[in-house]
Structure 1
Amino acid sequence: MASKKEHRMRSECPIACGLDIVGDHWTLLIVRDLLIFGRHEYNELLQGNEGIASNILSDRLQKLQNNDIVRSIPHPQNKRRKLYYLTGRGKDLIGLIMAIGDWTQKHLGKPVRLPVSHPAAASASPEQFKERVLHTLQQWEIEYGIH
Structure 2
Amino acid sequence: MVSKNEHLNRSQCPVALGLDVVGDHWTLLIVRDLLIMGKHEYRELLESDEGISSNILTDRLNKLQEQDLVSWINHPESKRRKLYYLTDKGKDLIHILIALVRWSAKHRADEIVIPADKLQNMQQSPRQFVDSTLGRLAQWETTFGIVAT
Q: Secondary structure at the match of 1:38?
A: coil
Question: 1:59: how far off?
Answer: 0.2
Consecutive unaligned residues of structure 1, counting only runs of 5 or more, are none
Residues 1:51 and 2:51 aligned together: yes
What's the offset of the Cα at 1:125? 1.7
Aligned to 2:14: 14
* Kept after mapping to 2: 8 A contact 1:33/1:45: yes
Aligned length: 145
Q: 1:122 to 1:27 in 2, by over 3 A?
A: closer
Q: Which runs of 4+ in 1 moved over 6 A?
A: none
Q: Structure 1 residues 131 and 120 mapped into 2: Cα distance closer, same or farther (>3 Å)?
A: farther
Is 1:40 aligned to 2:35, yes or no?
A: no
Distance of aligned partners of 1:99 and 1:49 in 2 relative to their CA distance in 1, 3 Å threshold: same
**Please, what TM-score do these two structures have when normalized by structure 2?**
0.90
- Taking the aligned partners of 2:72 and 2:82, their CA distance within structure 1 comes to 6
Identity %: 57
Aligned residue in 2 for 1:114: 115
Superposed, which structure 2 residues align to 1:68-107 within 5 Å?
68-107=68-107
Code of the residue aligned with 1:43 in structure 2: it is R
Shift of 1:91: 0.3
| In 2: Cα distance, 1:121 partner to 1:39 partner | 17
Shift of 1:113: 1.0
Question: In the alignment, which residue of structure 1 is the partner of 2:132?
Answer: 132
> Retained in 2: the 8 A contact 1:8–1:20?
no
**CA distance in 2: counterparts of 1:129 and 1:21, whole angstroms:** 24
CA deviation string 1:31-66 (max 9, x = no partner): 000000010000000000000000000000000000
